[in-house]
């Protein structure tokens, strides 16, 4: 029998999804994890737009102490001075990646619970199984501007395809990647036609999350080459290569 290393499939400890799920998810900080001090790391533009109100109002209701920190300034000192037992990252993919990377500096000394909350449907880098304890996918917090939807959904689609094409893909990563692609093909046109279509936005948000899980676990590359042969991805989708290529071209026109 061939002696192979065992496979693994990693996801965050918990993923909350559905429109309006944020308040229920945040209640766990008090009643399940007993967190008392939360450092909210975000972009100041989001704060000016009032997008943090749903989060801070819930913390006030729960009696949880919080501090808001600008991601553009040093986070290390903020953590040392405020001494949070939880970090909540709210923003887009660059912020999520930065917080996830910096977060690993602190877990050696003290366990700090990490929550990531994306502000755009289709974001994939919010799913960091190596660091995130909780991901909250709530479309009430997401920007539904068509240009932003196009930007992040394109990235999620390419990440899902790369996951399928990866030599390290598994049945588990394939299942997430294929479902992500199906959802994008089905619901992107609806959302671009009507950005207030709540159900379709939820589906795109789920697609971005699943693309991120698939990409991470398939150890897929980050660059995408449209000219490559994506025969395996087409086969997994139940399409011939010509049909899949045509479908990609149709979706690309929506960008």
Give the per-residue pLDDT at 127: 59
pLDDT in tens, 203-245: 999 998 899 899 989 998 877 776 677 889 999 999 999 999 9
pLDDT value of residue 108: 52
The residue written with tokens 């996801």 in the block is: 11
Reported as half-sphere exposure (CB side, CA atoms, 13 A), residue 241 has a value of 7
Sole residue written with tokens 């995408």: 224
pLDDT of 84 reads: 92
**pLDDT grade, residue 6 (50/70/90)?**
confident
The whole-angstrom separation of Cα 255 and Cα 247 is: 13
Residue 72 structure tokens:
């553009």
pLDDT of residue 2: 42
- Contact at 8 Å (CB) between 191 and 245? no
Number of residues assigned to the chain: 255
Give the model's confidence band at 46: pLDDT under 50 very low, under 70 low, under 90 confident, else very high. confident
Pairing status of strand 37-42 against strand 14-17? unpaired
Torsion angle of the four alpha carbons 81, 87, 88, 93, in this order, in degrees rounded to the nearest 10: 100
Mean pLDDT score across all residues of the chain: 85
- Is the pTM value of this prediction over 0.75? yes
Q: Which of 121-130, 178-187, 222-231 has the highest mean pLDDT?
A: 178-187
Output the pLDDT for position 147.
80
Token pair 């992107």 is found at 188
Residue 92 has pLDDT above 90, yes or no: no
Identify the band that residue 129 occupies on the pLDDT scale cut at 50, 70 and 90: low
Per-residue pLDDT tens for 108-117? 556 788 888 8
| pLDDT tens-digit readout, 58-76 | 999 999 999 999 888 877 7
CA distances from 199 to 45, 49, 78, 118, 205 (A): 27, 24, 38, 17, 10
Tokens 């990563």 sit on residue: 173
With tokens 């997008």, the residue in question is 51
Closest CA to 72 of 89, 95, 93: 95
> Could you write out the DSSP letters of every residue in 57-95?
HHHHHHT-EEEEEETTS-HHHHHHHH--SEEEEEE-HHH
Q: What is the pLDDT of residue 112?
A: 84
Domains of the chain plus CATH, in order, are 14-141 (3.40.50.1970), 146-253 (1.20.1090.10)
**Per-residue pLDDT for 51 more than 90?**
no
- pLDDT of the residue at 3: 46
Nearest to 103 by CA among 115, 117, 118: 115
What is the predicted pLDDT for the residue at 93?
Answer: 65
Going by C-alpha positions, the residue among 92, 129, 94 that lies closest to residue 114 is: 129
């Amino acid at each position: 029998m061939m002696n192979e290393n065992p496979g693994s499939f990693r996801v965050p400890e918990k993923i909350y999804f559905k429109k309006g799920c944020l308040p229920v998810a945040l209640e766990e900080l008090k009643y399940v994890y007993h967190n008392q001090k939360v450092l909210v790391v975000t972009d100041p533009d989001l704060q000016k737009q009032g997008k943090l109100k749903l989060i801070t109002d819930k913390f006030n209701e729960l009696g949880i102490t919080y501090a808001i920190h600008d991601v553009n300034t040093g986070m290390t000192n903020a953590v040392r001075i405020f001494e949070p037992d939880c970090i909540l990252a709210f923003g887009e993919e660059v912020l999520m990646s930065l917080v996830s990377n910096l977060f690993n500096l602190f877990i050696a000394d003290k366990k700090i619970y990490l929550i990531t909350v994306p502000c755009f449907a289709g974001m994939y880098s919010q799913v960091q199984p190596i660091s995130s304890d909780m991901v909250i996918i709530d479309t009430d917090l997401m920007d539904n501007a068509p240009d932003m939807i196009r930007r992040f959904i394109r990235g999620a689609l390419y990440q899902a395809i790369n996951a399928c094409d990866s030599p390290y893909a598994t049945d588990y990563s394939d299942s997430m990647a294929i479902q992500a692609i199906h959802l994008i093909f089905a619901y992107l046109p609806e959302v671009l036609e009507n950005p207030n279509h709540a159900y379709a936005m939820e589906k795109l948000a789920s697609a971005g999350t699943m693309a991120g899980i698939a990409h991470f676990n398939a150890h897929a590359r980050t660059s995408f080459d449209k000219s490559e042969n994506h025969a395996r991805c087409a086969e997994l989708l139940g399409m011939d290569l010509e049909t899949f290529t045509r479908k990609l071209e149709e979706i690309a026109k929506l960008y």
